[in-house]
Chains A and B, each alone.
Chain A
């Protein structure tokens, strides 16, 4: 069965510090998809990135970057030069191609608090 683990429950940083969020996943499927979502206090999950299992290239989008390593089953997320607006709960999620339809399995989330 698929599983996503986010070992860090809460991270507190001061503005402009970098913060890295860890995500480790388990799946038996050879084709799968990994996602990161942000949940601000308003509650809505905001999509950040999607990565398929065949694409191990790291990606950078503005202050956000992602490091996908199949060898260690990890998909880590780094926020560079954090800002107060980055304060939110961040979720890593997994979807397997073999599963019928769309189903996301989420990690427990990491709460990021950026202090001014």
Chain B
């Protein structure tokens, strides 16, 4: 079974631009979660989607948004990029048969904001 895939793997943007990251979950997984990893703040939860609905949200500004499609694929968007948005963005999927299912992570998208 293929794992979680994320595209692109690397991205360079400038301040003020917007960016869209994509995540394809493991086949059969219905929940997709997004995390931001930075050296200063560590791994922080952004949001989770299940059945095309946002089910939980972390403490991030409204510039961070996401969505999930009917095939469970998910996209994350960051508008008006700031230097501090430079990070590794990790996507994780789970079966979502219950809350607190094991999450399996993709390789991440490394975003650099100049």
Interface residues of A (CB under 8 A from B): 32-33, 35, 37, 42-47, 50, 91, 95-97, 99-109
Contact = CB atoms under 8 A, between A and B. Distances in A.
A42 B90 CA distance: 12
Contacts of B107: 42-44
B31 interface: yes
Interface string B44-58: 110010100001101
Interface in B1-42: 31, 33, 35, 42
Contact of B45 (A32, A45, A105): A105
A104 B56 contact: no
B43 A35 contact: no
Interface of B is mostly: strand
Interface of B: 31, 33, 35, 42-45, 48, 50, 55-56, 58, 88, 90, 92, 94, 96, 99-108, 110
B42 A106 contact: yes
Contacts of B103: 47, 102, 104
A97 B101 CA distance: 10
B99 A102 contact: yes
A108 B40 CA distance: 10
A45 B105 contact: yes
B99 A100 contact: yes
Contacts of A37: 105
Contacts of A32: 100
B106 A44 contact: yes
A45 B56 contact: no
